[in-house]
Amino acid sequence: MMITFIALSLLGSLSSTKAQTTVTYSSSPNLAIPGSGTSGSVSDSIFVDASFEICDVDISVDITHTWTSDLELDLTMDGPDPTTDPVDVIRLQYDDCGSSDDLVVTFDDSATESLNGASSSNNLCNQDGLEVQPEEALSTFNGHQSIGYWTLDINDDAGGDTGTLNSWSIILTSCETITDGAGTGDPHFKSWAGKWFDFHGECDLVFVDSPKFGHGTGLAIHIRTKARYQYSYIESAAVQIGDSVLEVGEYGSYMLDGISNADLDSEKLDRYTVIHKKINSKQDVFTIELGEGKKIVIQSFKDLVSVKTVGASKEEYRGSQGLLGEFGTGKLLSRNGTIMTDPDAFGNEWQVLETEPKLFQTARFPQHPVQCSMPGPERDGRRRLGESTISMEAAEEACEHWGDLKDQCVYDVMAAEDLELAEAGAF
């Protein structure tokens, strides 16, 4: 009975781990600040395209100026819906540091230093890279949604000196994790917000579709799931960048642009390097290097395939759709943008449509408009998890070192009847 309970608790489950993630949005406008006998204001805006609840805000500025105390700095946030995201104006700096040159600081509520009322003789006014308290608390933005226009206003309230806003950054910390996505094992899917859910349909699925990737080059990842007993697993994955496609299947079989076992040392996926590492006769790893530590990793262990993103950022995935949800929030959205809560309905929503590009070289039943094959009477006669030849005790011992992923590991080891899964991390 206990085995059956674990199986049912994982099927169709939605779980979340509370954690915080920090993201940075920057602008380098090299914007002249009025001077040379005049006074006036300039402003620069940054659009934050991810939507998540804010738990902390820091602001960094790099300003060249010949008389810092001429400057007044204000931060404004204007969300897309003024009724729920009202405009807030926070004073960051007001006429501090006298005749000192330049302002290169990070405004942070938790900083121990303050420039408030400081004169040019204060040592703090002559140091670049300090963390200092803003004049008014940035925590005013906490609890708001991040999406919208953030504007830095700089007012030079005296003439005779000149300056430049070289660059500035918004450093936002979300209340929940913004994380890398994954599709593994049974299969389990991890959205951009770190929420895990299972989908046991058999079909081709849109893992992620990011048309803005590479300044319009486009990135798409499809996965193909296969039914086995009362669950399914990912049997192959295909990654398309531009017009080039890498397809990875069981036991490390692969094709690049339709050529089996293509020479990855000389051929690229579009302009990106693919590194193939054969761990052993059962396990292969393919790493697509996107630059700056960002990657897409496809792993095969026997006939199971997993897909994971590493170092995901808005440059690659902003505006993307698919099983990973909305980038920045991980909200599980339908094709028309409504939030979905049922994992089976959500999985079926992202079946590859007949009108969408087919990334796999060969078609396999079912294909849309025939819907994904779901567990039910059509799979009668297949072995149940409770009849696994692997005991729960053995699976738990093998999976002990996987921490928060232990339950998923135990389930997959027992379902596949393969203790080696625990070492391969294929779940």
Domain CATH for 117: 2.60.120.260
Angle, CA of 153, 86 and 315, to the nearest 5°: 65
Residue 40 lies in a domain: yes
Classify residue 93: in a domain, yes or no: yes
Do 137 and 261 sit in the same domain of this protein?
Answer: no
Asked whether residue 33 is assigned to any structural domain, the reply reads yes
- The per-residue pLDDT for 313 is 84
- Domain identity same for 96 and 192: no
Residue 422 confidence (pLDDT): 74
Last residue of a domain, one of 375, 396, 422: 375
Examine the domain organization and report whether 238 and 198 are in the same domain: yes
In a shared domain, residues 214 and 246: yes
**Considering only 129-138, 173-182, 280-289, which range has the smallest mean pLDDT?**
173-182
Asked whether residue 201 is domain-assigned, the answer is yes
Q: Which of 76, 227, 79, 97 is nearest to 161 (CA)?
A: 97
Peptide bond connecting 343 to the previous residue in cis, omega within 30 degrees of 0 = no
Instruction: Determine, yes or no, domain membership for 132.
Output: yes
**Residue 237, beta-bridge partner list:** 223, 248
Range of the domain at 131: 22-174
Burial of 366 (0-12, 13-18, 19+ CB in 10 A): middle
Higher pLDDT, 96 or 325: 325
CA separation for the pair 16, 20 (Å, rounded): 12
SS3 content of the chain, % helix, strand, coil (to 5): 15, 40, 45
**Do 124 and 209 share a structural domain?**
no
Least confident of 131-135, 148-152, 323-327, 371-375: 148-152
**Cα separation, 116 vs 93, whole angstroms:** 7
Residue that terminates a domain, selected from 174, 197, 223? 174
Residues 121, 79, single domain; the answer is yes
Q: Give the mean pLDDT of 345-367.
A: 96
Segment 231-260 shows an average pLDDT of 95
- The pLDDT of 320-328, averaged and rounded, is 91
* The pLDDT of residue 215 is above 80: yes
Q: Is residue 286 part of a domain?
A: yes
Residue 142, in any domain of the structure: yes
Q: Would you say residue 227 lies in a domain? A: yes
Predicted confidence (pLDDT) at residue 86 exceeds the cutoff of 60: no
Instruction: Give the domain-ending residue among 147, 174, 201.
Output: 174
**Residue 30: alpha-carbon gap to chain centroid:** 30
The tally of domains found in the chain comes to 2
Structure tokens at 65: 């100026």
**DSSP SS3 for 367:** coil
Exposure string over 221-244, b if 16+ CB within 10 A, otherwise e: bbbbbbbbbbbbbbbbbbbbbeeb
Residue with tokens 């779901």: 374
Whether 231 and 287 map to the same domain: the answer is yes
Task: Indicate left, alpha or beta for 67 from its phi (over 0: left) and psi (-120 to 50: alpha).
Answer: beta
Confidence of residue 38 (pLDDT cuts 50, 70, 90): low
Determine which of 33-42, 80-89, 197-206, 388-397 has the lowest per-residue pLDDT on average: 80-89
- Please state the length of the chain: 427
If one compares 402 and 144, the residue with the highest pLDDT of the two is 144
Q: In terms of domains, do 329 and 193 share one? A: yes
Q: What is the distance between the alpha carbons of residues 331 and 288, in angstroms, rounded to a whole number?
A: 26
> Which run of H or E residues covers position 314?
helix 314-317
Same domain, 47 and 81: yes
* Whether residues 182 and 137 fall in one domain: no
Higher pLDDT pick, 261 / 379: 261
What is the arithmetic mean of pLDDT over 230-235?
Answer: 82
Q: So what's the pLDDT on residue 4? A: 25
Residues 225 and 89 in one domain: no
359 and 292 part of one domain: yes
Residue 404 confidence (pLDDT):
63
